[in-house]
Amino acid sequence: MKAILFLAGGVLAALLFVYSVKRFYATPERIFFFTLEVERKSFADVVDELKAELKERGLGILETVRLSEDYVIILSCDVSWKDQLLERVPSLSSLIPCPVAVYRHRGKVFIAVPKEIYFVQAHREDLGQDLADTLTRLYQTLRIAIAEVAVR
- Considering the domain boundaries, does residue 101 fall inside one? yes
pLDDT tens track, the chain, 152 positions: 777 766 667 766 666 665 655 555 567 777 889 999 999 999 999 999 999 999 999 998 999 999 999 999 999 998 899 899 999 999 888 899 999 999 999 999 999 999 999 889 999 999 999 999 999 999 999 999 999 999 98
Q: Tell me, what CATH number does 112's domain have?
A: 3.30.310.70
- Considering the domain boundaries, does residue 69 fall inside one? yes
- Considering the domain boundaries, does residue 96 fall inside one? yes
The pTM of the full predicted model, rounded to 2 decimals, is 0.80
Range of the domain at 111: 31-151
- Considering the domain boundaries, does residue 23 fall inside one? no
2-30 burial, b for 16+ CB within 10 Å, e for fewer? eeeeeeeeeeeeeeeeeeeeeeeeeeeee
